[in-house]
Structure 1
Amino acid sequence: MSASFALALQAAREAAAAQHYPQSALYVVATPIGNLADIGLRALHVLGLVDAVACEDTRHTQGMLRAYGLDRPSTQLLAAHQHNEAEAAQAVLARLQQGQRVAYVSDAGTPALSDPGARLVAAARAAGFAVVPLPGASSVTTALSVAGIVEDAGFVFAGFLPSKASERDAAVQVLEAETRAVVLLEAPHRIEALARALAPLGSRLVTVGRELTKQFEEIASVAAEALAPWLAAQSTRTRGEFVLVVHPAPTEAPVEDLRVLKLLLAELPLKAAVKLAAEITGQPRNALYAAALRLRPGD
């Protein structure tokens, strides 16, 4: 066990042990998306309490459990990934029928959100077993929390767009008509193709979260048409896992408000000019920021 988590395990026992954890229940446990310290106290307690842990990748999960001092024999780790989830669900149901507690974790974040888990949960619920959620880290909410979207219109979680170019382009055309924010996920080997596909969205802002919560975390907001050049500007920008938030389509500011913004941009840095322009004109910052990127594409 990493010595840094010894106190965390003690805190987990003190904070969570007195709560009720029914037998014959499936516990859906969110795990960190990169930083091991983001584990919840109740998650730590349950991962030590359950009779078995079903997981997307047994080697990955064993390494995580070992870091927390919760090492388990291989017989207590059940592989349940996208290729065998239906079959694995039957193995989990058999354990639940025996009165066991079983936890399910994906490789990172909250299960069943572009990760396996949904079929397992559906099978457990259909069989009449309790399914207990243990909330925690999610790349979706992590990215949204730093995107700075002030419009209260909700968001759409689209996950991974199709890998085939024609299907991906068709999906982007649908996305273009969406007035709410859209959250996308992407792998490093496909991020450049996705950036090119998003270019037709023009000045619509995209907040890129790369390697969220990890040592080399990077977060930036750029116009969709500038995303591919932004990635190409540094070789490291195509590495790691990506979450992208496509901002709501901005409402065009009136000409007079754009004049105010342009005058401020001549004297102030972009972010300061946008902030002040929003205070003067009452226009949404997102719309003014997108307009500022068009007026000063080099920033």
Structure 2
Amino acid sequence: MTVRERDSHNNQDSNDSVNTNLEAQDPQPQAEFKEGGYGWVVIFGVFILNAHTWGLNSSFAVFLAYYLRSGSFGASQLGYAFVGGLSISIALLVSPLATTLVGWKRCGTRLTIFLGAIFETIGFISSSFASQLWHLILSQGVSFGLGMGLCFVASAAVPPQWFVKRRSFANAIAASGSGFGGLCYSLATNAMIANIGLPWAFRVIAIICFVVNTIASYLIRDRNHAIGSVHMAFNWKLFKRPAFLLFQAWMVLSILGYVILVFSIVDYCQTVGLTASQASLVGALFNCELYADIID
């Protein structure tokens, strides 16, 4: 072997050694995340969770119509309506708390959803024993609203973490659970009140709500650690942005119109001459149509 060949061979060995050391220090990057797979299980979990939160909330229209017709708690029309509006208000106002719990290492997404399921169940069980309006305010208003808010806020950000190309489609399926739940429970609630009475209607819904939402909390798995999510309970700086304020104003007006219509349509139908069964069917179809646009 000539001197030149020997030097070339030594240089090659030296380069191979350096490359080996670099590979040992800098491992190959992980494979790019592929959407789908368990993500569809997550979508199913969020779907049934929405059906047993916002869907159940839509069934309040049937309860409201029953309260107004029967006068069970001896309250005014405004008092009964306040219960449904309070539940949605609490559900949205609890967002900072829910965000904090999701970002807390000892809690996380699953436990936050499970806590929400517990509060929802307590709300319905307590409502079954209610005898005065303030009982309903605390149970069907505050407790159910708190549970719905914890479940919704904790789960709303999870579906987009599992999809990139099909993100809009996946979100549409998850959100359509609200309409599906409203369709089912508007009919089921009226049937249960007519056949087993108001107290047992609350108890049956409570049992179903607890079982289904507990299953959903087990199925839903976030990727917060993998994508480096940062959870901030409240950011006051956003109120300095005119675009954000305009967006919030639009949301307030749209939710205002939604709540008035979804809660009053069943009672209105009975006022114009429809039976309770027919009115609940109209409310069910309204919920189905409302969320059909999301999928489209």
TM-score by length of 2: 0.21
Higher strand share goes to which structure?
Answer: 1
Which structure is higher in RCO with an 8 Å CA cutoff and minimum separation 6?
Answer: 2
| Structure with greater helix share of residues | 2
Q: Which protein has the larger Cα radius of gyration, Structure 1 or Structure 2? A: 2
